[in-house]
Structure 1
Amino acid sequence: MLDETTLEQRLVTLERAVADLQGKSQSQSTSENWLEKLIGSVSDQAAFIKSLEYGRAFRQADQPVVQGNQEL
């Protein structure tokens, strides 16, 4: 079992961590539009289009193959 001094130290550490996290979350403005931050973030359009193609192929590969009225 932990002694009282160790528990106090751990509690102080946790309180500091919580205070830091609260400060970080409050410093970020929630009124900013997330879409405006995202627009223009892709610098290589060809790579972006290729990644979309990979995602589409991956999703389609997961679909059952249908021939006639039967799934294979």
Structure 2
Amino acid sequence: MLDETTLERRLVILEQAVSDLQRKVDSKPAPENWLQKLIGSISDEAAFLEVLEYGRTFRQTDKPIDENDEQS
């Protein structure tokens, strides 16, 4: 079993560690909203524009054929 002096010493060490951790957390700026940071970050990339075009083409080929369009 631990004596009172050892417990006191361990408690002081733990309190110091908690204090250090709180200071570290408080000193960091609030994180930015990850979605706001991501939006528009690749919109001017050629690969991104190509992917958009592939998606557009895929959606158009996946549309059901309208019977009225076939008779025209």
Report the TM-score range of the alignment, normalised by the length of the smaller protein.
0.3 to 0.5
Greater strand percent: which structure?
1
TM-score for both structures, normalised by structure 1: 0.44
Question: Which structure is higher in RCO with an 8 Å CA cutoff and minimum separation 6?
Answer: 1
